[in-house]
Amino acid sequence: MFNPKYPTPDTAPTTAASLVPPLTGLVHPPACDCHHAPAPVSAPATPPVRPTVQITPGSLIVAAAGGTAVVLVVGAVLVSMLLATAITAASVALCAVVLRSLLNNQKGN
């Protein structure tokens, strides 16, 4: 059951001569009978020149100010979410303490 069963090896010949048919005696007719002019030979096309990005001191200051603004905004959002979670947890804990004291007072009376 756990012994692998290997398939029998192929019996076809695998020599290079048997895989490629001989090309002797094959003559292909031309695709069309019309006479075309040869394609003109032109100089190789030069790749288009890409404009280079030049960073000026002004653009560097703008990029730094923009990055600082993004970091501050993302930090403010994350801190506010953390603060909201902490306030919610504190209010749930306070409600649990109040309910526990109410239930304990009711059992004592």
The full set of domain ranges for the chain reads: 78-109
The pLDDT of residue 89: 97
Q: Residue 99: is its pLDDT beyond 90?
A: yes
Average pLDDT of the residues of the chain: 82
Full-prediction pTM beyond 0.75?
no
Give mean pLDDT, residues 5-15: 72
Tell me the C-alpha to C-alpha distance, in Å, between residue 84 and each of 73, 74, 88, 93, 104.
17, 15, 6, 14, 30
Give the position of tokens 């004291």: 101
The pLDDT of residue 100: 93
